[in-house]
Structure 1
Amino acid sequence: MSTATIASQQDTPSLKARILGTPSVGPLLVLVGFCVIFALTNPRFLATQNISIILQQTVIIGTLAIGQTLVILTAGIDLAVGAICVLGTIVAGKLVNLGYDPVLSMGIAVLLCTGAGLAAGSLIAGLRLPPFIVTLGILGILTAALRLISEGGAFPVRDPFLAWTGNTMKVGGFVLTYGILIMLALYGFVWYLLNQTKWGRHVYAIGNNPEAARLVGIPVRRHLLSVYLLAGFIYGVAAWLALGRIPNADPNAMQTANLDSITAVVIGGTSLFGGRGGLIGTLIGALIVGVLRNGLTLAGIDPLWQDLVTGILVIIAVALDQMSRRRS
């Protein structure tokens, strides 16, 4: 065997190394680990009914995490995901209850959510303001505005179209909602954009180094604007899924949506420093959050302790990402 052949074989990573080097493998092992722990501690965990509940409970956070992934890939962060989603539920519910066409009402709600994303993107890309400050400001504005619009209280939304995403179907022994299918379709669509289009490659390039991306001719500002615009649209779709899950418009809903969506993204292997990660990991991360909360609920753990554990997971994931970057 020639020296060149030996060197070539040494340079080629083994199948095991390639598998372990895949970013989504780590989150998948964490998900499997949590499932094993909860299955051993509570026999009800692996029941088909409970697994169906976990999938249904993951829909809203899983969908919001798609938009959050896009933002974090550009080295930004969105603290207004929950508020924008609630905006969609409040607006759609109010319009329908006033007698407007439900399709039109939901369309206006999604348009307003997209507009919120456009506003954030314009301030971040146009004025170069920090994403943290911009989205924190939008969170404060929407929190106050939603309470004024809803007059401070929740109200029921009983329109069949708005609740359609909560309708169920049986697949084997599992009960799935149409909302789950819509969420998976969004994952597939955005995955294609990120991995198979020039737009997706530019998103990664901007997250890695925006100045270098600008120097090679990538319109950084326009791409940042498109990222926040698409994220806002996805939050609007999540509002429709939320009304299917709970046909109730509440200005105080989704208090932990920001933390949960960021947790799903970071645990899924996407770097908070931008330029690295993907949607497959985010989907696994959303399932980890759903499994964790469900397993702790079955164990009788108080929701406040669940939030504490979720926060710890975020810190651990960010610390691991930082150490990985330093080694690189």
Structure 2
Amino acid sequence: MAVIEATLPRRILTTPTAGPLAALVIACAFFSLNSPQFLTGGNFSLIIQQVMVVGTLAIGQTLIILTGGIDLSNGAIMAFGGIVMAKLALSMTPLLAIAAGLAVCALFGLVNGTLATRISLPPFIVTLGMLNVVFALTHIYSQDQTVTGLPDELTFLGQTFQLGGTRVTYGSVLTIALFLLFAYLLGQTAWGRHVYALGNSPEVARLTGIRTSRLTVGVYTLAGLVYGIAALLLVSRTGVGDPQAGQTDNLDSITAVVLGGTSLFGGRGLVMGTLIGALIVGVFRNGLQLMGVPSIYQTLITGILVILAVTVDQLSRRRTR
């Protein structure tokens, strides 16, 4: 019994989310002391609204990074999916337009995964090339025009409801539900264990009977579908289809994953840590804005946090070798 009591605090402190959660709590405490507006229900609802798109993108990014890969094209895929949904919704049933946008995003994920496995191209190169391809397709298809006048079905998730005196968007609820879903899939299913095994050692995973190529393609395809959901959230929040959207969201999603304690080398991390990472970014930007700090310093601090997070991960890996 004494051994269990002694090891329990150690297990809590060594979980990948312990550090990010502590950083989030400290940041909230700091900004609440420096701004009376920070510690309010309305402000926290605003923070979640601000991070729900990048947070959803980061779910797909987490899946890919857990396998040892990376996706630089997710922001561009999201933007293209949003344009497809917006343009088609003006000429067909909105639900079919949404389905088409989700399918297109999943298709791009399928192509990324197939190129990374069948041709054995590095994920960094594959997704970097796909970033440029999808970016160009977005501007060609949209003709550089913002799509407006969207039907209610596409903007529903941007609407709010009352919760304890605070206005909360339906999109925020969907984002949290997605995090809970993927936390379950990664932590409680054989598929999730296979994803971690693939990230730890592809060769060992293959020798244990895991069809690594098929699993990798499936992960990239599923991530693409998640990017499509992020596209719907983006359109719902802005009320338009914007061809300029998502240009830095790929890096923001990687930032959320890294700050959440997921290793860039694969095989270690939790999707709920990614939620914490996204909230850290949102809290810092919101808190600094309330304090009147220029946006350039917000970017500076975010960059420092990323470097620190990767440094901690690298040092941790060295100690476990």
TM range (shorter): over 0.9
Per-residue deviation at 1:25?
Answer: 1.5
Q: Partners in 2 of 1:248 and 1:308 — Cα distance?
A: 30
Aligned to 2:284: 292
The corresponding residue for 1:281 is 273
> Per-residue CA shift, 1:87-126, capped at 9, x if unaligned?
11101111122x2110001110000000010000000121
In structure 1, distance between residues paired with 2:294 and 2:27: 18
- Residue 287 of structure 2 aligns to a residue whose secondary structure is helix
* Aligned match of 1:218: 210
Q: Quick one: which amino acid aligns to residue 312 of structure 2?
A: L
Give the C-alpha shift of residue 75 in structure 1.
Answer: 0.8
Which amino acid is the alignment partner of residue 246 of structure 1? T
Q: Among all aligned residue pairs of Structure 1 and Structure 2, give the percentage whose two residues are the same amino acid.
A: 52
How far, CA to CA, are the matches of 1:13 and 1:126 in structure 2?
48
Pairwise CA RMSD of aligned residues? 1.5
Q: CA deviation at 1:11?
A: 8.5
Distance 2:100 2:300 in 1: 36
Structure 1 equivalent of residue 123 of structure 2: 131
- Shift, 1:9, TM fit: 5.5
Greater C-alpha radius of gyration: 1
Conserved 8 A contact 1:266-1:272: yes
Report how far residue 189 of structure 1 moved. 1.6
On the 8 A contact 1:259/1:311 being kept in 2, the answer is no
Look up the equivalent residue of 2:49 and give its one-letter code: Q
One-letter amino acid matched to 1:32: V
Letter aligned with residue 122 of structure 2: P
CA separation of 1:121 and 1:157: change in aligned 2, threshold 3 A: farther
- In the alignment, the residues of structure 1 paired with residue 143 and residue 293 of structure 2 have an alpha-carbon distance, to the nearest angstrom, of 34
Give the equivalent residue in structure 1 for 2:53.
60
State the 1:17 CA deviation: 1.3
Structure 1 counterpart of 2:127, which letter?
T
Please, which moves more after superposition, 81-90 or 19-28?
A: 19-28
- Alpha-carbon distance, 1:257 to partner: 0.7
Whole-Å separation in 2 of the counterparts to 1:10 and 1:49: 44
Distance in 2 of aligned mates of 1:168 and 1:216: 48
- For residues 133-179 of structure 1, the C-alpha deviation after alignment (integer angstroms, 9 at most, x for no partner) is 00110101111111111112323242100001111111112221111
**AA in 2 matched with 1:85:** M
Structure 1: state its 5+ residue gaps.
Answer: 1-7
Match of 2:41 in 1: 48
The ranges of structure 1 where at least 4 consecutive aligned residues each deviate by more than 4 angstroms after the TM superposition are 8-13
Q: How many residues align?
A: 320
Report deviation, 1:13.
Answer: 4.4
Partner of 1:258 in structure 2? 250
Partner of 1:86: 79
Residue 74 in structure 1 maps to residue 67 in structure 2: yes
Q: What's 1:112 paired with?
A: 104
Residue 35 of structure 1 aligns with which residue?
Answer: 28
Q: What residue ranges of structure 2 are gaps of 5+ in the alignment? A: none
1:197 and 1:15 map into 2 onto residues whose CA distance is 24
Q: Within the alignment, does 1:170 sit opposite 2:185 as a pair?
A: no
Aligned pair in 2 of structure 1 residues 168, 136: CA closer, same or farther (>3 Å)?
A: same
Residue 157 of structure 2 corresponds to residue 146 of structure 1: no
Distance, in Å, in 1 between the alignment partners of 2:46 and 2:317 is 37
Give the alignment of 1:153-164 within 5 angstroms.
Answer: 153-164=145-156
Structure 2 CA distance, aligned partners of 1:81 and 1:311? 20
